[in-house]
Amino acid sequence: MGRIDREHDVSIDAVQDQRAETRRRTAEALPLTGNEAIARGAWEAGVKVAAAYPGTPSTEILESLATYDPADITAQWSVNEKVALDTAIGASFAGVRTLAAMKHVGLNVAADSLMSFSYIGAHGGLVLVVCDDPGIHSSQNEQDTRLFARLAGVPVLEPADAQEALDYVKAAFDLSEQFDTPVILRGTTRLSHTRSIVTVGARTETASRGFIGDHTRTVTIPANARRLHPKVIAREAALSQWMVTSPLTKRDDGTDRRCGIVTSGLAYLYVKEAAPQFPVLKLAGSYPLAADAIRDFAATVERVIVVEELEPVLEEAIRAMGIPAEGKSLFPRLGELSVELLREGLAKAGLVDMPVPLAPIDITPMARPPVLCSGCPHTASFYALRSVGAHVAGDIGCYTLAAIDPLRSMDTCVCMGASIGNAVGMAKAGTEKPVVATIGDSTFLHSGIPPLIDAVYNKADLTVLILDNHITAMTGGQDHPGTGRDLRGAAAPRVDYAALCRAIGIDWVRVVDPYEVGRLLQTLREATAHRGVSVIIASRPCVLDPVKIKGAPVAVRASACIACQSCMNLGCPSITWSGELFEGRHKVTIDATTCIGCTICAQVCPTDCIQPVTRGAPN
């Protein structure tokens, strides 16, 4: 039990040095992803401070910025998205160019700061990069950041490819300082992860403007806010004219004037491939609207069709201008767009022939349900949870997979940090079963501490299981305040979760190794029987990040296997059915190439038929 150990603080200096050399180059062209291009654009624009919380599809922006010279730019992970934006706002107050990055749902967390900062305005240029996730590849929803931009009164720019990602970031900083406003750069999953040749340039150093020093502007008490709000409205009108005259707003003349297409961002590329014959107005962004440009464009075509991903933001705004635009009657309001969807929509509008459907491919794909990694420490935690018969409020992380078979030991999952608050509500509502909240280490630091304090303050009866795998695993192994390393891999202070919990008034705190299944199970039983708040910290490093762990594998003695399925209920991808039967049921086998020797399966096996491999597999 617990046989796999390794030093967590793995050196990444060599990798960082290699990436830094690539980033420092000022060659004419480099192959960059959209996120790398955003980082490059920020560096070229003279950004001094950048902060983010990792979240797909935005994660690589700060990872790329961290490879530039620290003398040029301070790049850091923040504990959550609001703290990242607040850090950027502070740097803007101090007069330097600054950037914050996050995924779309992260803007929900940072929105409070954004709404007020819109009134204050940017002293040093501030760009907020928000990456949406149409199609919900790795998120809990597919909300449209453009709606936030309008709510906050903040302009949004929408690049279409990696080259524009770099160029638009630089333009966004100029725009921010020219109009005294934060600027949102909206990316999407497809833009973030595209890769193409990008023309790059040198860094332009921008002198600090010095501290803003005007409390009538920077302190948003009601008297100041009432005076500042009209400036936001006036700024909107000025920004609308900028959108009209900006070279980022482009117009392509087509040969078929039966319709003109208004679009922005990545959708432009789909339009040019699906319908190159139609005139296109490519807007720099969706807010504020380039109204005059749209009116002029609409006057030259018979119909106006709007192509945009997710919500009908442009379509509704254009209709409000009195122009009978079409859009979501032809194209879906959810998921990613594609060339095929555009052709189908235009065919529906009678503008092109209906595409010939592709011949179906007669194959049956192999069923590959998502599972935790072989040896994942979360596996044992949720396997043990099943035995205590609790209502389990879950959270965002790799461990959300415990909601499905075969672990099936999580009842709810709403958003980052919601598990403990949800558990408080369950406990207060009254239930015969114990209540457990599960939350990862990074998520706990992100937004789990306030609800834990609330649970103590309101005397809730619940257990909190902190799943500490020493890294931000789901987004690719980023560090956080509990890992002891910063974004650039340097040593940093490390949060002591047990001490933190005791400091807020929790007396019942235990630290266990989830690979010790028996001890974990016993601790869970004691914790759920405790009246009040109890905390278990299940501490064991992730098996993949920052390095992959591989210990001696285990194997099945087939002669002793009774096909009881105890090990199969772990959902470990290394354990599969074998060809041998026992009383009509399949026995199991373990893939030695993927097994990491965690011994969890051996501990739950009732016949002791799973043993470490010493000289060949057991038989």
Gap between the Cα atoms of 531 and 301, Å rounded: 71
Task: Yes or no: say if 307 and 331 are a contact pair by the CB < 8 Å rule.
Answer: yes
Gap between the Cα atoms of 538 and 512, Å rounded: 5
* Nearest of 315, 311, 306, 318 to residue 281 by alpha carbon: 306
Handedness of CA 315, 316, 322, 324 (dihedral sign): positive
Gap between the Cα atoms of 568 and 587, Å rounded: 10
DSSP structure class, residue 585: E
Annotated binding-site residue? 415: no
The angle, 0 to 180 degrees and rounded to 10, between the axes of the packed helices 162-179 and 34-44 is 40
Centre a 10 Å sphere on the Cβ of residue 601 and count the other Cβ atoms it contains: 26
Annotated binding-site residue? 572: yes
DSSP structure class, residue 558: G
**Residues contacting residue 219 through CB under 8 Å, at least 6 positions apart:** none
Gap between the Cα atoms of 172 and 551, Å rounded: 50
Annotated binding-site residue? 561: yes
Annotated binding-site residue? 131: no
Torsion angle, CA of 335/340/346/349, rounded to 10 degrees? -70
Task: Yes or no: say if 508 and 535 are a contact pair by the CB < 8 Å rule.
Answer: yes
CA 90: distance to chain centroid? 24
- Can you tell me which residue has the tokens 């890992």? 483
Q: Which two tokens stand for residue 522?
A: 């016993």
* Secondary structure of 5-63 as H, E, C letters: CCCCCCCCHHHHHHHHHHHHCCCCEEEEEHHHHHHHHHHHCCCCEEEECCCCCCCHHHH
Looking from the CA of 235 toward its CB, the CA atoms found within 13 Å total 25
Q: Which two tokens stand for residue 211?
A: 């501290």
Report how far apart, in Å, the C-alpha atoms of 497 and of each of 131, 372, 426, 527, 553 are.
Answer: 31, 24, 24, 17, 32
Query: How buried is 447 (Cβ within 10 angstroms: 0-12 exposed, 13-18 middle, 19+ buried)?
Result: buried
Sheet strands (E) in 208-303: 250-252, 260-264, 280-283
- Binding residue ranges: 561, 564, 567, 572, 595, 598, 601, 605
Residues annotated within the binding site for [4Fe-4S] cluster are: 561, 564, 567, 572, 595, 598, 601, 605
